[in-house]
């Protein structure tokens, strides 16, 4: 019997870059929503992202806070949207950053997703998990507030839609935290097929 040594996911996985110039708006929207969810989990996420950029050697793509702000504002729903575009290389950097952070907060993501199920099943009181519900409600509230403050007014989503979006982003982030998170997210964003095989 042998114990398996699990491989650390690649820091910068080989993701196929399309030849088209710049990402579709839907890709920019999805990436920004995922980053918004990370921010809703931790309001200091921008600082974490900037530190991570250095660790992952992505400084050429995201040199500073302003460029990060500019890249996120390529989401056409943003209040500060200025018709800017996001290159595929920048989108790839976002995918790497999102999955890297998701991996580090996997435990927290599991807790939030599980608590959401328990809340829907009305098991929170029975199981005495009110504190976990507090974390979840705090996440929903932060996501809601960030969404309304960052996106154009009047909002394209009502409160219920924003909550659904926040839930969907949690599930997406959970799967981004997996060993093939980058490939899965990239495939979903592009609508393309990827094959991962290392053995």
Q: Least distance (Å) from another protein to the CB of residue 33?
A: 8
Query: Which of 12-20, 71-79, 88-96, 126-134 is the region at the interface with another protein (rule: CB under 8 A)?
Result: 71-79
**Residue in 191, 172, 180 with CA at minimum distance from that of residue 14:** 180
**Residue in 3, 73, 82, 80 with CA at minimum distance from that of residue 32:** 73
Q: Least distance (Å) from another protein to the CB of residue 105?
A: 6
Q: Are 11 and 117 in contact (CB under 8 A)?
A: no
Gap between the Cα atoms of 94 and 161, Å rounded = 24
Residue 58 Cα distances to 46, 103, 186, angstroms: 15, 18, 17
Q: Contacting another protein (CB under 8 A), which of 120, 125, 134, 137?
A: 120
Between 56 and 124, name the residue whose CB sits nearer to another protein: 56
Q: Are 99 and 53 in contact (CB under 8 A)?
A: no
The two structure tokens encoding residue 92: 């790839």
17 belongs to the binding site for another protein (CB under 8 A):
no
Q: Least distance (Å) from another protein to the CB of residue 83?
A: 7
Between 87 and 119, name the residue whose CB sits nearer to another protein: 119
83 belongs to the binding site for another protein (CB under 8 A):
yes
Per-residue H/E/C for 60-78: CCCCCHHHHHHHHCCCCCE
Between 1 and 130, name the residue whose CB sits nearer to another protein: 1
Residues 22-61 close enough to bind another protein by CB under 8 A: 24-27, 29-30, 33, 38, 41-45, 47-48, 51-52, 54-56
**Residue holding tokens 């309304």?**
148
How many residues line the site for another protein (CB under 8 A)? 75
Between 87 and 179, name the residue whose CB sits nearer to another protein: 179
């Amino acid at each position: 019997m042998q114990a398996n040594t699990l491989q650390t996911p690649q820091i910068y996985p080989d993701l196929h870059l399309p030849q088209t110039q710049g990402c579709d708006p839907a890709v920019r929207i999805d990436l920004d929503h995922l980053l918004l969810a990370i921010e809703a989990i931790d309001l200091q996420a921008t600082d974490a992202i900037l530190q991570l950029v250095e660790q992952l050697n992505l400084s050429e793509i995201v040199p500073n806070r302003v460029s990060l702000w500019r890249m996120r504002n390529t989401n056409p729903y943003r209040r500060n949207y200025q018709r800017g575009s996001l290159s595929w290389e920048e989108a790839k950097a976002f995918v790497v950053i999102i999955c890297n952070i998701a991996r580090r907060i996997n435990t927290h993501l599991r807790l939030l997703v599980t608590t959401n199920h328990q809340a829907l099943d009305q098991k929170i009181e029975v199981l005495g998990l009110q504190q976990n519900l507090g974390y979840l409600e705090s996440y929903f509230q932060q996501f809601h507030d960030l969404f309304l403050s960052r996106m154009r007014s009047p909002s394209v989503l009502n409160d219920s839609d924003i909550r659904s979006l926040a839930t969907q982003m949690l599930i997406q982030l959970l799967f981004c935290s997996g060993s093939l998170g980058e490939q899965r997210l990239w495939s979903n964003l592009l609508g393309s097929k990827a094959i991962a095989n290392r053995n």
